[in-house]
A and B are shown apart, each in its own frame.
Chain A
C-alpha cells in the first residue's frame, strides 16, 4: 500500500511567546480527500496547516510527507507536494505580469521554461481566468486576484492543497466558483484541506470534517456524522445547519437528523410526501 500523503504523528507546537497552539494531534491525509478543518480562531487550525506544509517545525512528534520526515525535505520538495493558499492574495502578488506571478512557483522549483509555460496555461484554465498573460496582477478585481493566488500555487502541481479560509470576506457566488475549482482539482487526483468557518460549504463539498479546540482534535469523520452532533458543535463554538435542525424537528414524519445537505432533505421530503 502506498504511503499516505501526509501523516501527522503526535505533534505538538508552542509559539515563541509561550502559547501551546497544538497539543498532541495525530492524523493522516490520503489521496483524494476533501477535508474541512473547523474550529474557533485560536484553536490551532492555521498552526496545524503550517505544520503540515513545513512552514513550522513541530516541537514534539513528526510530520511525514509521503513517508519522508518533513524536516528532511528542502523548501522546493515541500512546495511541490504541499501547496498552501493564504487567505489574502495580496500577501503573495508581487510580479508585474500575470505570467510571472504564476510562473514564480514553478520557476523556484527549477523547472525548464517550456514546462513552466505549460503549467501556467493549465493553471489558468483550471481557475477559469481569461486574462492576457501580460496583465498587471495588482489591477485585477478581488475575485480575479483570488484566482491568481490559487493558480500560482496549483502551477506547482502539489498533491495536497491547503487553503486558509478561502471564502472569508468574499461573496457567495465567488465561494461557489472556488468550490468548483477545488472539485476540478480533486478530479485531477489532488487532496484538499480547507480551513473554514462555513459549515454550509463543509457539508456540501467536504468528505471529511475535522474540528479543533484548544490545540486538540475533538472530531474527525464524515460530515454526516460530525456536523449533526450538536454537543460537539456547541463545544467548538459552532451551530448546526438549518437543514439539520429542520430535519430533526420533522422527525415524527420520518426524517432523521443526519441530514446536512439541501438536496438530501429535498429528496427525503419528496419521498415522504409521495408515500402519502
Chain B
C-alpha cells in the first residue's frame, strides 16, 4: 500500500465514500457493507500501520456498531423475523433491523478507515503533490500538511499550559461541572493566544519561503503513475461493483 501513487489512494478513498453514500434497497443485506468494510480493513492491515491506528479502528468499530444498534432500528421497515434478543436490556432485533444496523455501521466506518489507510501509507509531501495534480489549488491542498506538521506542536503546548496551571494549584480533576468548565478557561485562553501568535509567525515564515507567490509550483520528486496503481484501482473497483450486483440481484429478480 505504501508504494502506490497517492492519487490512486485518493481515488480509492473517494470511491469507497461514493459507494457508501449511495442509498438503495441493497441496504437490507449487510453483505454489501461487510464486503466494503472487509476490503478497507484488509488494506489497512497489510500496510502495517503503528499499533495506535489499529487500536483506534478497533475501538471505533465497536463504538459505531453500538450506536448503530441503538439508533437505526427506528427507521427500519416493520415486520420480519426476530432473531436477536439482548437479555438484560430487553432489546429485540428482527433480521431486517439487524441487517440495516450492521449495514449502516459498515458503511459509516469504511470511508473513515479508507482515509486513515491513505494517510498512514503516504508521505505528506506526496499526498500534497497528489492533491495538486488533481487540480486542488496548492494553497488549500497544503492545509492538511500543516495540520499534520503542527499537531504534535499543539499537543505539546497544551501539555505545557496544563502543567503551568497545575503548578499554580489548579486541580482539573476536582469540582462539579460548572467549576470545571471555568477551570478549563485557564487552559483555553493561553492556548488560543499562543495559537494566534504562532499563526502569525507561521504566516511570516511561509511568506518568506515564497509560499503563495505564483500559481505554478514545481515538485522536486515527481509522482509517477505505475501499472500497479491501475491494477489496484481496477481490482478494487471490481470488488465493489460485484458486491453491489450480488446484493441487488435478489431484489431485481
Contacts and interface: CB of A to CB of B under 8 A. Distances in A.
B146 interface: no
B47 interface: no
Contact of B168 (A50, A74, A90, A108): A108
B197 interface: yes
B169 A90 contact: no
A157 to B, nearest CB: 12
B177 interface: no
Interface string A108-140: 110000000000000000000000000000100
Interface stretch (A4-12, A80-88, A168-176, A252-260): A80-88
Contacts of B171: 74-76, 108
Interface stretch (A23-31, A91-99, A177-185): A91-99
A79 B167 CA distance: 6
Which of B157, B161, B164, B171 counts the most chain A CB atoms within 10 A? B164
Interface stretch (B23-31, B66-74, B117-125, B184-192): B184-192
B193 interface: yes
Given A55-B163, A86-B163, A92-B161, A80 B169 contact: yes
B165 interface: yes
B190 A75 contact: no
Contact of B194 (A86, A90, A108): A90
A53 B190 CA distance: 22
Contacts of A82: 167
Contacts of B189: 94
A94 B185 contact: yes
Interface residues of B, number: 20
A86 B160 contact: yes
A104 interface: yes
Given A76-B171, A104-B186, A138-B193, A92 B164 contact: yes
A92 B193 CA distance: 11
A93 B164 CA distance: 10
Interface in B168-182: 168-171
A39 interface: no
Interface of chain A: mostly helix, strand, loop or mixed: helix
A94 B190 contact: yes
Given A104-B186, A138-B193, A91 B170 contact: no
Contact of A108 (B157, B169, B185): B169
B184 to A, nearest CB: 10
B207 interface: no
Contacts of A105: 168-169
Contact of A79 (B169, B190, B193, B197): B169
Contacts of A76: 169, 171
Interface string B209-241: 000000000000000000000000000000000
Contacts of A104: 168, 170, 186
Contacts of B168: 79, 92, 104-105, 108, 152-153, 156
B169 A91 contact: no
B167 A91 contact: no
Given A75-B171, A91-B161, A94-B186, A55 B193 contact: no
Per CB-CB distance, the 10 closest pairs between chain A and chain B, nearest first, are: A108-B169, A79-B169, A94-B189, A84-B167, A105-B168, A75-B171, A92-B164, A91-B164, A94-B186, A86-B164
18 contacts: A53-B167, A55-B166, A78-B169, A79-B168, A79-B169, A82-B167, A84-B164, A86-B160, A91-B157, A92-B164, A92-B165, A94-B186, A104-B186, A108-B169, A138-B193, A153-B167, A156-B168, A156-B169
Given A78-B169, A90-B194, A94-B185, 10 more contacts: A55-B163, A75-B169, A83-B167, A86-B164, A90-B190, A91-B190, A91-B194, A92-B161, A92-B165, A108-B169
